[in-house]
């Protein structure tokens, strides 16, 4: 299998975990996991569109923005990083807050301005603004005589 197809399968796995957690509740979903651990961290994201740009909003509570990477690869926006596992000498009875490394990939249309993408991080929310390329308008060509 190629790396791309593995990333797709991992994404499908994350999506299935979310479905089980939402349908069965985190407690039952956690019990169904082989190691009983909290789910892997896969941050939720929203994608909005205006006439001028796309905006990707990613919830990253508890994630240090210095450890987040935003990059474009082969027409895909990739946001990756890590949410640390809480270190404590306490014996946890329940761990529902997911932690660990994450990577979210989002395919983008061809008409985006990759050179002018901007990212900002505030209060645990990453916002990535992806401007669209200016559309080429039809131009009437004058026909000269002679």
65 & 122 share domain: yes
Domain that holds residue 104: 41-131
Residue 26 has pLDDT above 50, yes or no: no
Tens-place pLDDT, residues 7-22: 455 556 556 656 655 5
35 & 73 share domain: no
46 & 86 share domain: yes
Domain count of the chain?
Answer: 2
CA distances from 56 to 43, 70, 79, 119 (A): 12, 11, 10, 9
35 & 93 share domain: no
57 & 15 share domain: no
Task: Please report where in the chains the tokens 């329940």 appear, as a residue.
Answer: 94
Closest CA to 36 of 102, 83, 96, 88: 96
Tens-place pLDDT, residues 98-135: 888 999 999 988 889 999 999 999 999 999 999 999 88
Tens-place pLDDT, residues 53-100: 999 999 999 899 999 999 998 889 999 999 988 777 777 788 788 888
């Amino acid at each position: 299998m190629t790396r791309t197809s593995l990333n797709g399968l991992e994404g499908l796995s994350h999506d299935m975990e979310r479905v089980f957690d939402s349908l069965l509740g985190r407690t039952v979903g956690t019990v169904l996991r082989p190691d009983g651990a909290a789910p892997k961290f896969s941050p939720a994201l929203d994608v909005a569109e205006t006439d001028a740009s796309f905006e990707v909003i990613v919830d990253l509570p508890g994630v240090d923005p210095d450890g987040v990477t935003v990059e474009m690869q082969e027409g895909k926006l990739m946001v990756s990083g890590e949410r640390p596992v809480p270190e404590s000498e306490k014996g946890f009875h329940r761990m529902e807050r997911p932690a660990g490394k994450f990577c979210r990939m989002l395919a983008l249309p061809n008409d985006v301005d990759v050179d002018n993408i901007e990212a900002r991080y505030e209060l645990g929310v990453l916002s990535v603004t992806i401007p669209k390329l200016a559309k080429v308008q039809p131009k009437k060509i004058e026909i000269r005589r002679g």
